[in-house]
Amino acid sequence: MNVEPRSMGADGLRQRIEALAPWFHNINLGGIWTAPDHFLGDYPNFKFQRFADHLPEDLGGKTVLDIGCNAGFYSMEMKRRGAERVLGIDSDDRYLAQARLAGEALGYSNIEFRNLDVYDVGTLGEKFDVVIFMGVLYHLRHPLLALDLIHEHVAGDLLIFQSLQRGSKQVLELEEDYEFVETEMFFESGYPKLHFVERQYAHDWTNWWVPNRACAEAMLRASGFTIETRAEDEVYICRRSEMPYADWGKTGAVYPALGPATGRE
């Protein structure tokens, strides 16, 4: 992210950065890195550079929702590409404070950061041209519900999705249906599998579910997103489409179903 910071004394900026530590987004704020000892180095920039070319360079006139925005790296990248409105949401006040500081230091004070859980996106009452949902799914106790809510309430067109993946990278080609007695496919490593973490993974108790590649892709399709490309090992560029089995009855997320923000009182 190559943006000159606004005038802010280096010592004062460093103190403000340290006061909000630890940072998971290692962002260069005028020569001061927010997480200089990050175990992944220049993260998330190095990951972003792997799929940046798959995103529209000009987002002029577009609206963007960054779900689980953390310190706002992706929110600021979308604004740098000219997005008219960017809203970053997170349920962690420290992350939001980090994002506001980074935005202030880099001249992106017109990005809105708000404390909001992914399960409450319906209260926003609007759809966005671009939704970013990266690094969140595996931290959720109810991951498919979250994708359903995004599809139902806030995804207008483009979805940028990423999830940690573990297990096989193979994707088994499956039939449309199987008889009850057929069980062999469940033993295949390329069958969609969502691994449940009962205790901790990577010293993080918030890691609840980790899909394999087949599962991540299947969950996106099952929630009504068409995968346009796998832009990076774990990153998918998707378009909102029809929910599978929509003709069979209500299949989308229904919470929150009522309220003035949804227009469905």
Each residue's pLDDT tens digit, 85-144? 999 999 999 999 999 999 999 999 899 999 999 999 999 999 999 999 999 999 999 999
Are 29 and 20 within 8 A, CB to CB? no
Strand spans (E) along the chain? 28-29, 32-33, 63-67, 85-90, 112-115, 128-134, 155-162, 194-196, 209-211, 225-232, 235-240
**Cβ neighbours of residue 184 under 8 Å, at least 6 residues apart?**
none
- Looking at residue 251, its pLDDT comes to 61
N- to C-terminal Cα distance for the chain?
Answer: 43
Cα–Cα distance, 166 to 144 (Å, whole number): 17
* Residue-by-residue DSSP string for 47-68: HHHHHGGGS-S--BT-EEEEET
Tokens of 48: 């972003």
- Looking at residue 245, its pLDDT comes to 82
Structural fold of domain 56-243: Rossmann fold (3.40.50)
- Looking at residue 255, its pLDDT comes to 57
Are 181 and 115 within 8 A, CB to CB? no
Which stretches in the chain have pLDDT values below 50? 2-5
- Looking at residue 246, its pLDDT comes to 78
Each residue's pLDDT tens digit, 109-121? 899 999 999 999 9
For residue 248, how many other CB atoms are within 10 A of its CB? 7
